[in-house]
Amino acid sequence: MIHNTSSSSTSGTRDNRWTLHGKTALVTGGTRGIGRAVVEELVGFGARVHTCCRNGSELDKCLEDWDDLWSGGMISGPVCDVSVGAYGDCVNNVGTNIRKPMVEFTPEEFSTVLTTNFESAFHISQLAYPLLKASGEASVVFTSSVSGFVSLKSMSVHGATKGTINQLTKNLACEWAKDNIRSNAVAPWYIKTSMVEQVLSNKSYLVEVYDRTPLRRLGEATEVSALVAFLCLPASSYITGQIICIDGGIHAIVIELVRLGVTVYTQPGANLSLKNAYSWEKKGFKVTGWNMNAILGTKENFTLEFCSLSYSHFSKARPR
């Protein structure tokens, strides 16, 4: 979230639209990965930034590094209690993941993912609301994930929390529009950070990820922070209620199917052509519903009940 302590700039000059001077931001989880890149991007645009994390020595090290880069105490932390009213602005970045099948989650693990990914963002947004409102022009940015749109392997709980974030993003955009508070989310695919280091150290899985990503590479944290900064800038003043994917194109592959209400299981070796969906039906898989015509020009009514980006996986998974 970010709020403006200067005058409204929606109709200002280009210089006014592309600056965060006079603004103060709170970025949760700013010491590593995407959060760190967001802190640095926002300061680069002139905002004062407060950040937080759990590891005090890591935070101190970051603050030292940042002091060398920016003088004047542009960045500080940690922020432990936003309810004290010292800060009103934040990018809800903190998140975590436990990769395992849903049925194997302990109540504690479920609670960790839920509280970190959803409840923290909910409470911080709620606590910050009076300050955001008082600013007269504010922006909330949540960090979702591609998992909030489509089913990914061993990501049921993570995906559920991010889907919840997506819905909160849209509801707050409507609920807080009267206060001129915008609410948007960014939804990354694989970004090179400590969170995904372990899973991507598995070489064959990494090849799968490249294979599935149209741009054939992982994302950089700065590619996420650039969008977050844009959503904080007055330049994006008419954008609210959006969840924007930063994903090297993966969402473009599945989005038409998801729009139709499909549960999509992404799998390796994927070269999805929507025509495949029709061929799957021909091969005996269940394809029912509506509006296939718009995509394939072949059928009036359908919904793919189940599909995979990998035909071979699909064929094993759900024969009719």
Ligand X SMILES: NC(=O)c1ccc[n+]([C@@H]2O[C@H](COP(=O)([O-])OP(=O)(O)OC[C@H]3O[C@@H](n4cnc5c(N)ncnc54)[C@H](OP(=O)(O)O)[C@@H]3O)[C@@H](O)[C@H]2O)c1
Enclosing H/E stretch for 57: helix 56-69
Is-contact 287 281, C-beta < 8 A? yes
Q: Measured from the CB atom, is 12 or 44 closer to ligand X?
A: 44
Of positions 196, 226, 239, 296, contacts ligand X by CB under 6 A? 196
Of the candidates 297, 289, 4, the residue with the CA atom closest to the CA atom of residue 137: 4
- Could you say whether residue 188 binds ligand X (CB under 6 A)? yes
Q: Which residue number, 74 or 260, has a Cβ lying nearer to ligand X?
A: 74
Characterise 304 by phi-psi region: left (phi > 0), alpha (psi -120 to 50), beta (else). Answer: beta
Among 77, 95, 159, 248, binds ligand X (CB under 6 A): 95
Measured from the CB atom, the residue of 253 and 277 that comes closer to ligand X is: 253
C-alpha–C-alpha distance, residues 35 and 285, integer Å: 43
Compute the least distance from the CB of residue 226 to ligand X, in Å. 14
Q: How far apart are CA 236 and CA 18, in angstroms?
A: 9
From first CA to last CA, the distance across the chain in angstroms is: 48
In whole angstroms, the minimum distance from the beta carbon of 300 to ligand X comes to 37
- By CB under 6 A, residue 33 contacts ligand X: yes
| C-alpha neighbours within 13 Å on the C-beta side of residue 261 | 10
Binding status of residue 159 toward ligand X by CB under 6 A: no
- Asked if 193 touches ligand X (CB under 6 A), the answer is yes
Q: Nearer Cβ to ligand X, position 152 or 181?
A: 152
Of the candidate spans 19-27, 184-192, 208-216, 297-305, the one that interacts with ligand X by CB under 6 A turns out to be 184-192
* Minimal CB distance residue for ligand X: 95
Q: Binding of ligand X at residue 94 (CB under 6 A)?
A: yes
Contacting residues for 112 by C-beta, under 8 A, at least 6 apart: 96, 98
User: Should residue 234 be labelled a site residue for ligand X when binding is judged by CB under 6 A?
Assistant: no
**Is residue 191 at the binding interface for ligand X, with CB under 6 A as the rule?**
yes
Tell how many helices (H) and how many strands (E) occur in the chain: 13, 12
32 counts as binding ligand X under rule CB under 6 A: yes
The site for ligand X, by CB under 6 A, has a size of 27
52 binds ligand X (CB under 6 A): yes
Q: Which of residues 139-158 bind ligand X (CB under 6 A)?
A: 143, 145
Both structure tokens of 191: 């970004």
Cα(186)–Cα(235) distance, integer angstroms: 17
Name the token pair of 168.
């909160």
The yes or no reply on residue 116 touching ligand X (CB under 6 A) is yes
DSSP helix/strand/coil, 179: helix
Q: Where do contacts with ligand X occur on this chain (CB under 6 A)?
A: 28-35, 52-55, 58, 93-96, 116, 143, 145, 188, 190-191, 193-196
